[in-house]
Amino acid sequence: MNRVDKMYIDNIVDIIENGSDDFDGNVRPVYKDGTPSHTKFITQNFEKYDISKGEFPITALRNIAWKSGVKEILWIYQDQSNDLDLLKEKYNIKWWDEWEVDGSKTIGMRYGATVKKYDMMNALLENIKHQPYGRRHIISLWQEDDFIETKGLNPCAFMSMWSVRKKGDVRYLDMTLVQRSNDYLVAGHINKIQYVALQMMVARHCGLEAGVFAHYTHNLHIYDRHFDQAKELLNRYENNPNMVQPKLILDTDKDNFFDFTIDDFKMENYKPIKPQLKFELGI
């Protein structure tokens, strides 16, 4: 069993056996039927993967829609958009529809709209190129003025920090993703995949190699209607001990961040276990 799946299962077990819960309090999210969606959770979770050594954070214990994850990151950081019609028409992604703000066909002043408003992506690329060893390469989507400007779901994965590191003759781009909240069974690996893809694109644009990806999550949780799926994942882990490590590759000669498309990525050795698991979303 590869290291990624072991870490995934260890975290699931930790949540089930040692996690706290919010069952006795009021919670913001609800299921589609209006029932409050409670969770069991752990805090201050940290994971680390060396992309340059072939480690890649995707589980094969269930199918992960990795292409959709990468497309979403293109919508946020290339298109720099909050437009739900664009997300559907260009990328065929509909999962954000539940968070449309007041019939606006947008998710409010959030994510891509924030990136565009403060020109965050161009600033990051230029700063890494011109001062690679700087310690201020940060994108923060947590902008209080934006939250006041419109309604919308406050960003979950809200900050990325970037560092250039030299080893021998090779310069690597390391990145840390900071996330306030993570629906672990549904989105845990989607978030990792898409930010590693972002790391690869930024590294290529800046003439660097993708290095270490680290992921800090402050609240890592499993919803109360997802525990049967959690048990199925534990069973799959026990019954499939020899699964290989998949790997994402940026397979193109392009070197401009804004030119990359989903077709420039390919996944090697990814053979997820079937059937797919289904989850009710806490909205």
- C-alpha pair distances (Å), 30 with each of 10, 102, 189, 220, 258: 27, 18, 22, 18, 37
Q: Can you list the positions of beta strands (E) in the chain? A: 20-21, 39-50, 137-140, 157-167, 170-183, 209-223, 247-250, 265-268
Backbone φ and ψ of 20, nearest 5°: -85, 175
Burial of 165 per CB tally in 10 Å (0-12, 13-18, 19+)? middle
| Residue 206 appears among annotated catalytic residues | no
Q: What is the mean pLDDT of residues 114-125?
A: 98
| 96's tokens | 């954000």
Mean pLDDT over the full length of the chain: 96
What pLDDT score does 241 carry?
85
Q: Would you say residue 2 has pLDDT above 90?
A: no
Alpha helices in the chain (DSSP H): 3-18, 66-77, 84-91, 112-117, 120-130, 144-149, 184-205, 227-239
Percent of all residues in the chain with a pLDDT value above 70, rounded to a whole number: 100
Q: Could you report the per-residue pLDDT of 228-273, keeping only the tens digit for each?
A: 999 999 999 999 988 889 999 999 999 999 999 999 999 999 999 9
Q: Would you say residue 179 has pLDDT above 70?
A: yes
Q: Could you report the per-residue pLDDT of 29-48, keeping only the tens digit for each?
A: 999 999 999 999 999 999 99
Q: Could you report the per-residue pLDDT of 182-230, keeping only the tens digit for each?
A: 999 999 999 999 999 999 999 999 999 999 999 999 999 999 999 999 9
What pLDDT score does 3 carry?
87
Q: Could you report the per-residue pLDDT of 81-110, keeping only the tens digit for each?
A: 999 999 999 999 999 999 999 999 999 999
CA angle, corner 9, sides to 7 and 11, nearest 5?
Answer: 70
HSE on the CB side for 19, CA within 13 Å? 27
Q: Would you say residue 130 has pLDDT above 70?
A: yes
Domains of the chain: 3-268 (3.30.572.10)
Q: Would you say residue 167 has pLDDT above 70?
A: yes
b/e burial code for range 125-156 (CB count within 10 A of at least 16 → b): bebbeeebeeeebbbebebeebbeebebbebb
Q: Which of 16, 65, 86, 156 is catalytic?
A: 156
Percent of all residues in the chain with a pLDDT value above 90, rounded to a whole number: 96
What pLDDT score does 124 carry?
98
Q: Would you say residue 1 has pLDDT above 70?
A: no
